[in-house]
């Protein structure tokens, strides 16, 4: 029998202290987002004629960076939820303008979206990745919070889903990874496609979204999660068999937590059981000294002892979601939050440090815009979990 998550077992340990720490964490974290990060990225990280910046340094934007499709739509997502975290700016120009510019510049003739353009909109890489398309769907769903059901780009989401079904859907379960590179089959883009389908399921009764949630959840249970260890793998061949190279053996603790968070949201006892096991593995093997590491191998030895910022947010999200029903998990949330705040303790305020070395020092480099999506999602999950825990 696999070991249970030590923070989720029933027992007499008090949860009052870690829960109080988490409430203070939420206050500090959301205040930082609302008064420091979101204002800085709205001012320095957005240009109405050029879109969202890729990175901000202490002195301002790194203007020479080409613009990835995923960053453009991730920033739309972040600002669509900004008001719910207390930001007092106007998200409408960034959400509407960001989507309009993206749809104009990144759409290919086949209606999928290219992966890279220059700052002036010149196409630089025509490849279309499933990963990017998933984030387009997520941003389109989030835009409703600002633009409303009528003003949002809902028709775009339906059209994109139809295009994915036509161009990237496999004969069996799941989707190819992109065009022209269809293989290897990858877990990560399916994870974000599940995230987008869950977001649309909350706001749209069309059966296609629930069907997509069910399909990807079943794919995770049957193929992505190893039946012996309960760990989720990343890279597969045409028949969803794990690849024999190093990529096929890789386990990313951040993705263990992120998949767990999504499977808990998807619902169902099998999904719940799998999610708890993913969190157990992440906590027991993927966390060192309170820090979620980058990568393990399938025997749970460490492959990459560095630690990017985003696995810390995913650890926080998964444990916060599980803590609603298993309050002992607030201890892991408190630890993940304390670690996360170390990455945010930087000047000028509103930026962050992205990489912690195996030796415990942060790498000095500009802050990547792609992380704001993770931070906003973590703050929203923390806010929701604490609200759900309040009656308890």
- Residue 48 is predicted with a pLDDT of 94
Contact by Cβ (8 Å): 309, 365: no
Task: Summarize the confidence of residues 163-192 as an average pLDDT.
Answer: 98
- CATH code of domain 16-389: 1.50.10.10
Distance of CA 272 to the CA centre of its chain: 19
Distance of CA 293 to the CA centre of its chain: 16
- Residue 1 is predicted with a pLDDT of 31
What is the per-residue DSSP string for 45-56? Answer: SEETTTEE-SEE
Q: Could you tell me what percent of the chain has a pLDDT over 70?
A: 96
Q: Which of 316-320, 332-336, 337-341, 385-389 has the lowest mean pLDDT?
A: 385-389
Q: Which of 11-25, 96-110, 151-165, 346-360 has the lowest mean pLDDT?
A: 11-25
Would the pLDDT of 108 be above 50?
yes
- Residue 213 is predicted with a pLDDT of 98
- Residue 228 is predicted with a pLDDT of 96
Would the pLDDT of 61 be above 90?
yes
Contact by Cβ (8 Å): 155, 216: no
CA distances from 356 to 283, 312, 316, 318 (A): 18, 11, 17, 21
On average, the pLDDT of the chain sits at 95
Would the pLDDT of 351 be above 50?
yes
Say which residue the tokens 């096991």 belong to: 277
- Residue 13 is predicted with a pLDDT of 52
- Residue 8 is predicted with a pLDDT of 42
Q: DSSP 3-state assignment of 367?
A: strand
Q: What is the pTM of this model?
A: 0.96
- Residue 18 is predicted with a pLDDT of 92
- Residue 12 is predicted with a pLDDT of 35
**126 Cβ contact list (under 8 Å, min separation 6):** 108, 114, 115
Q: Which of 136-140, 150-154, 203-207, 255-259 has the lowest mean pLDDT?
A: 150-154
Q: Per-residue confidence at 17, pLDDT binned at 50, 70, 90? A: confident
Task: Summarize the confidence of residues 372-392 as an average pLDDT.
Answer: 92
């Amino acid at each position: 029998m696999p070991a249970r998550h030590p923070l989720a077992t029933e027992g007499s340990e008090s949860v009052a202290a870690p829960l109080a720490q988490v409430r203070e964490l939420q206050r500090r974290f959301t205040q930082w987002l609302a008064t420091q990060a979101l204002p800085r990225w709205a001012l320095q990280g957005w240009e109405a004629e050029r879109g969202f910046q890729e990175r901000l340094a202490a002195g301002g934007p790194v203007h020479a960076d080409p613009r990835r499709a995923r960053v453009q739509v991730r920033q739309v997502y972040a600002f669509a939820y900004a008001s719910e975290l207390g930001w007092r700016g106007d998200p409408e120009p960034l959400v509407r303008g960001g989507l309009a510019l993206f749809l104009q510049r990144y759409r290919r003739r086949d209606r999928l979206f290219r992966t890279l353009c220059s700052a002036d909109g010149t196409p630089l890489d025509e490849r279309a990745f499933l990963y990017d398309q998933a984030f387009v769907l997520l941003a389109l769903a989030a835009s409703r919070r600002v633009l409303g059901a009528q003003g949002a780009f809902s028709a775009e989401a339906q059209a994109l889903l139809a295009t994915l079904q036509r161009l990237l859907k496999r004969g069996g379960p799941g989707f190819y990874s992109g065009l022209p590179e269809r293989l290897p089959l990858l877990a990560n883009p399916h994870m974000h496609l599940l995230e987008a389908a869950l977001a649309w399921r909350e706001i749209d009764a069309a059966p296609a979204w629930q069907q997509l949630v069910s399909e990807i959840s079943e794919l995770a249970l049957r193929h992505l999660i190893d039946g012996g260890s309960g760990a989720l793998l990343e890279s597969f061949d045409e028949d969803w068999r794990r690849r024999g190279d190093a990529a096929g053996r890789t386990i990313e603790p951040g993705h263990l937590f992120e998949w767990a968070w999504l499977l808990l949201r998807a619902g169902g006892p099998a999904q719940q059981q799998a999610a708890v096991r993913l969190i157990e593995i992440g906590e027991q093997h993927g966390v060192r000294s309170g820090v979620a590491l980058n990568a393990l191998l399938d025997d749970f030895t460490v492959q990459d002892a560095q630690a990017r910022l985003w696995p810390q947010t995913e650890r926080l999200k998964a444990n916060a979601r599980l803590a609603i029903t298993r309050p002992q998990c607030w201890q892991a949330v408190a630890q993940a939050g304390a670690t996360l705040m170390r990455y945010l303790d930087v000047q000028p305020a509103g930026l962050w440090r992205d990489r912690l070395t195996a030796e415990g020092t942060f790498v000095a480099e500009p802050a990547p815009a792609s992380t704001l999506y993770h931070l906003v999602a973590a703050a929203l999950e923390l806010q929701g979990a604490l609200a759900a825990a309040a009656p308890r």
